[in-house]
């Protein structure tokens, strides 16, 4: 696949997709959202300016899709992890409240 046949906007979108995976691995949701907005604009521009998608561009779109699925998986894992942390904090608060109510009186 020759890089001179690939749409430059799609090539940039693929780079941003890889950056999004890196941000998701670090848990940097603010950067992730910013990168996603930039990538979305590039993809919209490609969609609006292209009548027929070439084979090299289709391959890049498939890579973008696969990378996007990986980023989504990482964010979902992070969301579940935070949910477990919140649940454990709630259990801890209930335990503290239960022990606080049962202190021996003097």
CATH of the domain at 15: 1.20.58
Residue 53: what are its φ and ψ, rounded to 5°? -90, 125
Which pLDDT score is estimated for 2?
A: 47
CA distance 97 to 18: 46
Q: What is the pLDDT of residues 18-59, one digit of tens each?
A: 999 999 999 999 999 999 999 999 999 999 998 899 999 999
Which pLDDT score is estimated for 97?
A: 78
The total domain count for the chain is 1
> Binning pLDDT at 50, 70 and 90, where does residue 64 land?
very high
pLDDT score of 1 more than 60:
no
pTM for this model (two decimals) = 0.75
Range of the domain at 50: 3-101
Mean pLDDT of 4-29: 93
106 found inside a domain: no
């Amino acid at each position: 696949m020759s890089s001179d046949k690939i749409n430059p906007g799609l090539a940039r979108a693929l780079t941003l997709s890889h950056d999004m995976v890196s941000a998701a691995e670090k848990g940097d949701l603010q950067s992730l959202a910013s990168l996603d907005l930039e990538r979305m604009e590039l993809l919209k521009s490609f969609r609006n300016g292209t009548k027929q998608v070439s084979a090299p561009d289709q391959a890049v779109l498939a890579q973008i899709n696969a990378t996007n699925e990986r980023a989504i998986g990482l964010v979902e894992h992070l969301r579940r992890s935070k949910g477990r942390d919140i649940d454990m904090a709630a259990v801890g608060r209930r335990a503290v409240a239960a022990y606080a109510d049962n202190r021996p009186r003097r």
